[in-house]
Amino acid sequence: MAFSTDDGMSVALANADGTLQTPVPVTFPVAVGCTPVNYGTVGDVNHDGFADVITGYAKNPNCGGSSDTPSGFFVFLGDGTGHFRGTFYPLGLEDYFVKLADFNNDGKLDVAISDLGDGTGPYNFYTVPGNGDGTLNTAAAEVAVDDQLVSGIVPGDYNGDGKQD
């Protein structure tokens, strides 16, 4: 189980009896401050068979340590032992909700992320193509929904065409 803490994120692995082990902190690749991660999702973005964690990050200049890190999202690649290697991708102004799905039908997981902007709009909803190796192509990020406050993301094939909507 991965969860946000006051100063980062930790992972608690499950024991055979269903109880959780002592949480282990995850090392962040950039400086972050109070409540550094927002909503997250899990998937295998590098096709190694291990769970990877993707979380949104909204810059908060009022938190110590976060003033130099812009808003964006983290990709934490898991190694199957409960340890993760993180990469930070700057994007938008205040990233919160993230989900994984293959939006462009290339067999690789892509990231969908909502950007709450500065609180007054415009609000954006991005799709960021995955490269299949654990990296993402933020240069190809597309604004999928412009000026709509997205407060949750539920990908699915809503029209039966075999593609993620």
**Residue 161, domain member (yes or no):** no
**Residue 154, domain member (yes or no):** no
pLDDT for 29: 87
Question: Each residue of 66-95: pLDDT tens digit?
Answer: 567 788 899 999 999 989 999 999 988 778
Nearest to 94 by CA among 138, 38, 30: 38
**Residue 81, domain member (yes or no):** yes
Show the low-confidence residues of the chain (pLDDT under 70).
Answer: 6-7, 33-36, 60-67, 119, 121, 144-147
**Residue 17, domain member (yes or no):** yes
Q: What is the pTM of this model?
A: 0.87
- The whole-angstrom distance between residue 76's C-alpha and the CA centroid of its chain comes to 9
Gap between the Cα atoms of 5 and 28, Å rounded:
13
Range of the domain at 116: 2-146
Which residues share a beta bridge with 54? Answer: 41, 75
The answer to whether the CB of 126 falls within 8 A of the CB of 115 is: yes
**Residue 36, domain member (yes or no):** yes
The answer to whether the CB of 38 falls within 8 A of the CB of 96 is: yes
Q: By three-state DSSP, how is residue 151 classified?
A: coil
The answer to whether the CB of 155 falls within 8 A of the CB of 103 is: yes
**Residue 61, domain member (yes or no):** yes
How many domains, the chain?
1
pLDDT for 33: 67
**Residue 46, domain member (yes or no):** yes
**Residue 45, domain member (yes or no):** yes
